[in-house]
């Protein structure tokens, strides 16, 4: 099981993961689950009715819009990095946060490396399954690297132009 | 020059500290080369045939004497005493040691320079008109908008892992000196009928294996909405651009496959959803504009007597003026182009000594403003006519007075097989042969504007597709051959050149060009450039001349 690290109010902490990732050809276990978009669209209503938390994992090729009407019922959206070079999940995360106002957990899964965590935070991710064994301290250091940022994003950090106005 | 503030400086310091940590981890063996590669590339560090190559950003080709002197100092201390100016107006050092790179980046940061995003699948250095702030044709200063883009795109959290690299150009005059139409995004600054400032937006141009001239997706974008519109374009590209095949990953392929109209429609829909929240506040745009040190021009007469006297007295100076000196918006001033295409030398190379000469001239005579052009030359944009004889004499002494701007020996060439691991063939020696064949300056002037561009492989770093004559190096069973293309242009009349015929061996390239020049000289009508004659006659007579002895 990969470690789950959550970031809350700027603090990174290892967390128990209550969710089970379930592949499309696997039987559903009891408890909280993260399932594919396809399975969610077919079966999501029923599962949510069973009084458990349901999360959805999106492939980088899938559109956030497909999930938009059901987002209020979803506990976690996990966005997959099939390789760290595949940057589509950054856009998916920003759309979830900024366009669809998603307030649940946005989790980075797949090829998640400490060097990219700063960008992920800025795009609205708040949970990480590091693939490189990075610790909470590693992620915290990566997130602190740049004292300034130049652009608005999903994290509410004040960009340079706003700092200058103050 | 844009003057950095504390925020800009701290941003570079933080980035430099991060890279030092990464290099230390690599040298200690904590990072493998595979893990380190993407990190070094984001800081402009390539591993080439012989050594590391460090590509330093010269944002929109603009620098001051302090910065150019620092580059000269780095060339001497950490390289072999010279550097190579590129078609992206950057500077490359080809003989760098990995362990030195953190110190080099700190030295660069000490003069407000960096190597951020000079490589990788991210937004690269913006190209802007090298005559910015000086040419009388200018609608607005493109550096102001380029600097806004530089800041916005630096470590952009959403757009640092795009399908492929991404290049933006801004032209601010009807005459395009930036090759805007063959960039991923080309922006042409305009005013509408009401006098408001805005941009024509062209998307999906590019060279490489599949050259495209970028179609216009918006005729007029209000200037203050530039960043939100760029965000919309980049977001559509980041979502939909191909990632399964590196050679089909540039935005030109997406635009061509969707069609410009459909691509434009998706951008407009995304832009409407983004809203104005992503644009810079007017106050910040005004701050950036003000952070460019304003130039004050003396009130001078249109005509300089000492300049006229020098022209009549010294034919070499007169020739330099005819070819390398351009009109300035202020009376009594001129734009001076310094050719880095001395006959027999490597196009774009400058020695540390030459960099220092240019820095001194820029400081003393040029309002401390120095530019790099995408055609690999240097510009002093603000020189008094009165000072031109002294500037010319100093340049001549340093081997920098080659009077060939836009002429046949002002050749763009990529580093080619001499340096680059990707190349199939050498490019520099071919450029040198051609330049030597046309070393006679009277003949070169008689021929007039003729743009030759040479690439050592299909990646087209030497822009051969948009050369009036393009030359592409190909490998045929281990031997270097060269394919000629005709009729390309990277300017406002952009077009992609067409292959003339079978590739030629290296020793036939220069004579083939000579044969085509003879055809042009015999067929041209009044006022026609090589490209105009070719467009009128079509390629047939040129092809006949090159391949005549093959019949």
Average pLDDT, chain A: 95
Q: How far apart are alpha carbons A99 and A112 in whole angstroms?
A: 24
| Cβ neighbours of A120 in B, within 8 Å | 157
Provide the CATH number for the domain around residue A13. Answer: 3.20.20
Cα distance between the two ends of chain A: 46
pLDDT at B500 over 70: yes
Confidence of residue B139 (pLDDT cuts 50, 70, 90): very high
Provide the CATH number for the domain around residue B358. Answer: 3.90.480.20
pLDDT at A67 over 60: yes
Is residue B220 one of the residues assigned to a domain?
Answer: yes
How many helices (H) and strands (E) would you count in chain B?
A: 18, 21
Q: Which residues of B136-175 are buried (b: 16+ CB within 10 A; e: fewer)?
A: eebebbbbbbbbbbbbbbbbbbbbbbbbbbbbbbbbbbee
Average pLDDT, chain B: 95
Q: DSSP letters of B307-341?
A: HHHHHHH-HHHHHHHHHHEEE-SSTTEEEEEE-S-
Shared domain for B272 and B314, answered yes or no, is no
pLDDT at B550 over 70: no
Is residue B94 one of the residues assigned to a domain?
Answer: yes
> Which of B17, B157, B161 is facing A85, going by the closest CB pair?
B161
| Phi, psi torsion values for B480, nearest 5 degrees | -85, 125
Helix B6-27 × helix B33-41 angle, to 10°: 160
Q: Whole-prediction pTM value? A: 0.96
The residue in chain A having the minimum alpha-carbon distance to the alpha carbon of residue B278 is A152
Shared domain for B152 and B232, answered yes or no, is yes
Confidence of residue B415 (pLDDT cuts 50, 70, 90): confident
Shared domain for B431 and B501, answered yes or no, is yes
> Which of A63, A88, A149 is facing B238, going by the closest CB pair?
A88
Is residue B134 one of the residues assigned to a domain?
Answer: no
Shared domain for B209 and B281, answered yes or no, is yes
Cβ-Cβ contacts under 8 Å for B268 (sequence gap 6 or more): B218, B232
Q: How far apart are alpha carbons A66 and A64 in whole angstroms?
A: 5
Which pLDDT does position B304 carry in this prediction?
Answer: 97
| DSSP 8-state symbol, B175 | S
Helix B142-153 × helix B282-290 angle, to 10°: 120
Shared domain for B151 and B285, answered yes or no, is yes
Q: How far apart are alpha carbons B484 and B516 in whole angstroms?
A: 11
Domain of residue B177 covers: 142-290
Judged by a CB distance cut-off of 8 A, whether residue A21 touches chain B is no
Question: How many domains does the structure of chain A reveal?
Answer: 1
Which pLDDT does position B386 carry in this prediction?
Answer: 98
Query: Cα A82 from chain centroid?
Result: 14
Which pLDDT does position B50 carry in this prediction?
Answer: 78
Note every long-range contact of B517-524, with CB atoms under 8 Å and residues 24 or more positions apart, other chains counting. Answer: B517/B408, B517/B438, B517/B447, B517/B450, B518/B545, B519/B545, B520/B447, B521/B446, B521/B447
Q: With contact defined as beta carbons under 8 Å apart, do B416 and B453 qualify?
A: no
Domain of residue A80 covers: 4-165
pLDDT at B534 over 60: yes
* A22 three-class SS: coil
Question: How many domains does the structure of chain B reveal?
Answer: 4
pLDDT at A166 over 80: no
State the CB neighbour count (10 A cutoff) for residue A18: 14
Cβ-Cβ contacts under 8 Å for B260 (sequence gap 6 or more): B203, B204, B215, B216, B217
Q: How far apart are alpha carbons B183 and B252 in whole angstroms?
A: 9
Q: DSSP letters of B288-309?
A: HHHTBPPP------S--HHHHH
Is residue B383 one of the residues assigned to a domain?
Answer: yes
Is residue B543 one of the residues assigned to a domain?
Answer: yes
Shared domain for B28 and B81, answered yes or no, is yes
Which pLDDT does position B60 carry in this prediction?
Answer: 97
Provide the CATH number for the domain around residue B465. Answer: 3.30.413.10
pLDDT at B105 over 90: yes
Interface of B with A (CB under 8 A): 5, 7-8, 10-11, 14-15, 17-18, 38-39, 121, 151-152, 154-162, 235, 238-239, 243, 273, 277-278, 280-281, 283-284, 287
ipTM score of complex: 0.97
Convert the pLDDT of each residue in B217-254 to its tens digit. Answer: 999 999 999 999 999 999 999 999 999 999 999 999 99
Shared domain for B376 and B248, answered yes or no, is no
Which pLDDT does position B175 carry in this prediction?
Answer: 94
Is residue B224 one of the residues assigned to a domain?
Answer: yes
Convert the pLDDT of each residue in A95-116 to its tens digit. Answer: 999 999 999 999 999 999 998 9
- Region B34-61: mean pLDDT is 90
Which pLDDT does position B174 carry in this prediction?
Answer: 92
pLDDT at B294 over 90: no
Q: With contact defined as beta carbons under 8 Å apart, do B231 and B149 qualify?
A: no
Judged by a CB distance cut-off of 8 A, whether residue A86 touches chain B is yes
Confidence of residue B454 (pLDDT cuts 50, 70, 90): very high
pLDDT at B351 over 90: yes
pLDDT at B5 over 90: yes
Is residue B129 one of the residues assigned to a domain?
Answer: no
Of B351, B374, B397, the position where a domain reaches its end is B397
| DSSP 8-state symbol, B385 | G
Cβ-Cβ contacts under 8 Å for A65 (sequence gap 6 or more): A95
Cβ-Cβ contacts under 8 Å for B31 (sequence gap 6 or more): B22, B25, B39
Is residue B148 one of the residues assigned to a domain?
Answer: yes
Shared domain for B198 and B242, answered yes or no, is yes
């Amino acid at each position: 099981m990969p470690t789950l690290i959550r970031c809350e109010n700027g603090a990174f902490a290892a967390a128990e993961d209550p969710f089970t990732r379930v592949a499309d050809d696997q039987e559903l276990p009891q408890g909280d689950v993260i399932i594919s978009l396809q399975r969610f669209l077919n079966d999501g209503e029923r599962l949510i009715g069973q009084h458990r938390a349901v999360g959805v994992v999106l492939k980088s090729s899938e559109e956030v819009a497909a999930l938009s009407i059901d987002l209020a019922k979803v506990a976690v959206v996990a966005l997959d990095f099939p390789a760290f070079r595949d940057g589509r999940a950054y856009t998916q995360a920003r759309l979830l946060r900024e366009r669809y106002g998603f307030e649940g957990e946005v989790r980075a899964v797949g090829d998640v490396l400490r060097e990219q965590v700063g960008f992920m935070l800025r795009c609205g991710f708040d949970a990480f399954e590091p693939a490189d064994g990075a610790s909470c301290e590693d992620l915290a250091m990566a997130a602190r690297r740049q004292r300034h940022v130049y652009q608005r994003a999903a994290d509410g950090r004040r960009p340079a132009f706003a700092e200058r106005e103050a | 020059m844009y003057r950095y503030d504390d925020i800009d400086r701290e941003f570079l310091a933080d980035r430099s500290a991060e890279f030092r940590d990464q290099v230390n981890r690599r040298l200690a063996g904590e990072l493998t080369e595979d893990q380190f590669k993407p990190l070094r590339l984001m800081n402009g560090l390539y591993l080439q045939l012989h050594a590391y190559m460090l590509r330093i950003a010269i944002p929109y080709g603009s620098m001051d004497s302090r910065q150019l002197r620092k580059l000269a100092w780095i060339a001497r201390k950490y390289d072999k005493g010279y550097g190579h100016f590129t078609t992206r107006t950057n500077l490359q050092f080809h003989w760098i040691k990995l362990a030195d790179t953190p110190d080099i980046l700190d030295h660069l940061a000490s003069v407000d320079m960096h190597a951020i995003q000079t490589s990788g699948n991210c937004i690269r250095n913006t190209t802007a008109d090298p005559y910015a702030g000086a040419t009388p044709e200018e609608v607005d200063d493109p550096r102001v908008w380029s600097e806004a883009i530089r800041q916005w795109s630096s470590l952009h959290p959403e757009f640092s892992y795009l399908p492929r690299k991404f290049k933006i150009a801004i032209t601010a005059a009807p005459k395009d000196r930036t090759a805007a139409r063959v960039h991923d995004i080309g922006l042409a600054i305009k005013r509408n009928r009401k006098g408001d400032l805005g941009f024509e937006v062209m998307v999906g141009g590019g060279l490489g294996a599949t050259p495209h001239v970028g179609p216009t997706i918006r005729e007029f974008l209000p200037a203050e909405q530039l960043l939100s519109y760029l965000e919309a374009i980049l977001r559509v590209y980041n979502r939909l651009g191909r990632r399964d095949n590196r050679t089909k990953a540039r935005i030109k392929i997406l635009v061509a496959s969707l069609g410009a109209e459909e691509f434009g429609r998706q951008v407009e829909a995304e832009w409407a959803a983004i809203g104005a929240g992503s644009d810079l506040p007017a106050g910040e745009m005004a701050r950036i504009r003000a952070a460019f040190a304003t130039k004050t021009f003396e009130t001078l007469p249109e005509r300089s007597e000492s300049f006229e006297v020098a022209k009549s007295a010294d034919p070499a100076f007169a020739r330099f003026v005819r070819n390398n000196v351009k009109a300035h918006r202020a009376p009594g001033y001129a734009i001076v182009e310094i050719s880095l295409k001395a006959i027999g030398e490597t196009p774009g190379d400058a020695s540390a000594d030459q960099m220092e000469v240019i820095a001194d001239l820029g400081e003393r005579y040029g309002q401390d403003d120095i530019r790099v052009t995408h055609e690999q030359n240097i510009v002093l944009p603000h020189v008094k006519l009165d000072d031109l004889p002294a500037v010319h004499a100093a340049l001549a002494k340093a081997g920098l007075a080659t009077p060939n701007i836009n002429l046949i020996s002002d050749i763009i060439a990529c580093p080619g097989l001499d340096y680059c691991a990707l190349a199939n063939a050498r490019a520099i020696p071919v450029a040198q042969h051609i330049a030597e064949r046309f070393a006679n300056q009277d003949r070169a002037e008689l021929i007039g504007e003729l743009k030759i561009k040479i690439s050592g492989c299909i990646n087209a770093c030497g822009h051969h597709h948009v050369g009036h004559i393009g030359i592409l190096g190909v490998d045929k069973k281990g031997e270097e051959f060269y394919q000629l293309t005709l009729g390309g242009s990277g300017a406002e009349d952009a077009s992609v050149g067409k292959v003339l015929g079978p590739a030629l061996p290296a020793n036939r390239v220069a004579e083939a060009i000579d044969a085509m020049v003879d055809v042009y000289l015999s067929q041209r009508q009044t006022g026609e450039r090589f490209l105009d004659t070719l467009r009128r006659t079509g390629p047939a007579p040129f092809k006949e001349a090159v391949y005549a002895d093959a019949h």
